[in-house]
Amino acid sequence: MFVKICGITDIETALFAAECGADAIGMVFANSKRRVSLKKAKEISKSLPKSVWKIGVFVNEDPDIVRNIAKEADLDFVQLHGEETPEYSRSLGVPVIKAFGLSKETNEREMADFPASYLLVDSPKGAYYGGNGKTFDWSLIEEKRLKKENLIIAGGLNPENVQQAIQAIQPFGVDVSSGVETEGRKDRRKIKLFIDEAKGVQKR
């Protein structure tokens, strides 16, 4: 099971997540309390093994800025969390993960046709872009007939429910940020527990 730990802001936590088995780390370049500078992102990227994907999270950013950050920070993917269009995605020239907030109103055809390597399915946006740490109705995955081989599940996941989500949905991967935090900061115990739970599903 592919596991991404998002909202990483320092080298030590990035390395710890990688050592615990994280397949990817996410760095936020959009307006967020977890936002990182390009300088810090470059330091984090350089510290990680090549096998760990470096993913930058953007919201409605100028495409030239996205391309520059992707190059400078040696990103493997850019994750788009805003109202970016298919044309915008194609123009980047960088592998894309496109995030969609899933609800009954979501247009599944628009999701299926979006030019992206992976789709990240989150709860509908609230005060912030992204899932705001809340789960969505997992049954909508089946209802919308979404392809699961390139589907990453986010939104309200934590060490207690990630196994249930994987068993219910059978996605390509899972993504977590606030679910492995304590009082707004990454919690190493929760990171390890989350990764162990997510990876352990396939061993049972």
How far is it, in rounded angstroms, from Cα 137 to Cα 133? 13
CA torsion 31-148-109-4 (nearest 10°) is 10
Which distant-in-sequence residues (6+ apart) come within 8 Å of 203 by Cβ?
none
Query: What is the model's pTM?
Result: 0.93
All structural domains of the chain, each given as residue ranges with its CATH number in brackets, are 2-203 (3.20.20.70)
Q: State the CB neighbour count (10 A cutoff) for residue 141.
A: 21
Mind listing the pLDDT tens digit of every residue in the chain (204 residues)?
999 999 999 999 999 999 999 999 999 999 989 999 999 999 999 999 999 999 999 999 999 999 999 999 999 999 999 999 999 999 999 999 999 998 888 889 999 999 999 999 998 865 555 445 678 888 999 888 888 999 999 999 999 999 999 999 999 999 999 999 999 999 999 999 999 999 984 444
Q: State the CB neighbour count (10 A cutoff) for residue 93.
A: 11
Pairing of strands 185-186, 181-182: antiparallel
Enumerate the active-site residues. 6, 122
Is residue 54 within 8 Å of residue 45, measured between CB atoms? yes
